[in-house]
Amino acid sequence: MFAAERRQLILEMVRANGAVSLRELARVVQTSEVTVRRDVRALESEGLLDRRHGGAVLPGGYTRESGFPHKSHLATAEKTAIADLAAGLVQEGEAIVVGAGTTTQELARRLARVPGLTVVTNSLLVAQALAHANRVEVVMTGGTLRGSNYALVGSGAEQSLHGLRVSRAFLSGSGLTAERGLSTSNMLSASVDRALVQSAAEVVVVADHTKLGTDTMFQTVPTDLITHLVTDEPPAENERAGGELQALADQGVQIAVAGPGPVQERPDAPQQPHPPQYPGQPARHEVPLPGQRRNHPASPPPLRGGPGSVADLAPRRRG
């Protein structure tokens, strides 16, 4: 197959799916990932698509939502490390909400080991991961099943969340920027995620670095409501993702970065006093009313529950 033919096929796949991994592209066009990466770079230089770590997406940052089978094979190592780290935020006996997504599904598998936990979710996959967990209670929302990501959406899901109050919400999405916060490509999913946020005292975003700097159609969590971000280390050449991390930290988001190597604190992280109840039992008495604007507390100690290193990204300024 000639280069022009390969690139046309690559472009058609990205346009059809919104995002495609290099591995999948190489399989379809029957060539190596090195060749595909070269083709993707050439198409990006023409403004026809954007490169992402491990794949290609529609240009301009606004991406179409790809289906669960495709998403489940993207950045799997990163999602596993993020899930290990995020699970360290959850305490025995806590009540939390967990949204739909491949990263939150990985998180749910680790939460199965936390006794006395109550998990409210609109995700069939999260519920399935916890179905046989000892001493973990799973509460599912109502709603209409959305087959592309196995999530319950619609007015039934939103109404079932009215009056709910939990300590933390764990959410993922299609994109994350300092300007708009977390976003997703589907209007129904975004509406349910907003309802999940309203029920929680803290919002923890779990997202791999490929989501950083990407903006999608529907905002789910504005930046000022994101308490924590758990992510992985962007490649050194990905300046946009690194800059987005710093911009999020500048706005008060507490950032934990999972990566290979021993656990260590970022040298420039300021030493701040930590509330005595964190990371002990959840501070339920400090849970604000649903919809109340939350002031981010002082940064907790580095998480040490899972493999990988943790970096606390220090803000350059305080607004």
CA distance linking residue 141 with residue 99, whole number of Å: 11
Is 315 or 51 the better-scoring residue by pLDDT? 51
Using CA atoms of 236, 81, 139, 92 in order, give the dihedral in degrees to the nearest 10. Answer: -120
Using CA atoms of 197, 202, 203, 204 in order, give the dihedral in degrees to the nearest 10. Answer: -150
Is 296 or 158 the better-scoring residue by pLDDT? 158
DSSP element (H, E) containing 44: helix 33-45
Is 3 or 307 the better-scoring residue by pLDDT? 3
Residue 303, pLDDT > 80, answer: no
pLDDT at 257: 94
Q: In the chain, what's the furthest Cα-to-Cα distance? A: 65
What's the rounded mean pLDDT across residues 138-162? 91
3-state secondary structure of 223: helix
Work out whether strand 181-184 and strand 218-221 pair parallel, antiparallel, or are unpaired: antiparallel
| Class (C level, CATH) for 76-286 | alpha beta
Specify whether the CB–CB gap between 89 and 67 falls below 8 A. Answer: no
Specify whether the CB–CB gap between 93 and 117 falls below 8 A. Answer: yes
Enter the DSSP assignment of 191.
H
Helix, strand, coil share (%) of the chain residues, nearest 5: 35, 20, 45
Do you know the residue count of the chain? Answer: 319
pLDDT at 260: 56
Q: State which CATH number among 3.55.50.30, 1.10.10.10, 3.40.50.150, 1.10.1380.10 fits the domain covering 3-60.
A: 1.10.10.10
Residue 71 pLDDT class (50, 70, 90 cuts): very low
pLDDT at 277: 33
Residue 156 burial by CB count (10 A; 0-12/13-18/19+): exposed, middle or buried? Answer: middle
Q: In percent, how much of the chain has pLDDT > 90?
A: 45
Greatest mean pLDDT among 4-8, 200-204, 275-279, 303-307 lies in: 200-204
Specify whether the CB–CB gap between 248 and 316 falls below 8 A. Answer: no
Residue 240 pLDDT class (50, 70, 90 cuts): confident
Structure-block tokens of residue 242: 């690194």
Is 319 or 82 the better-scoring residue by pLDDT? 82
DSSP element (H, E) containing 79: helix 76-87
Q: Is 135 left (phi over 0), alpha (psi -120 to 50) or beta?
A: left
Single-letter amino acid, residue 319: G
CA 102 vs. chain centroid, Å, equals 9
CA distance linking residue 42 with residue 36, whole number of Å: 10
DSSP element (H, E) containing 85: helix 76-87
The answer, yes or no, to whether the previous bond of 279 is cis (omega within 30 of 0) is: yes
Is 269 or 106 the better-scoring residue by pLDDT? 106
Q: What is the pTM of this model?
A: 0.64
Enumerate the domain spans of the chain.
3-60, 76-286
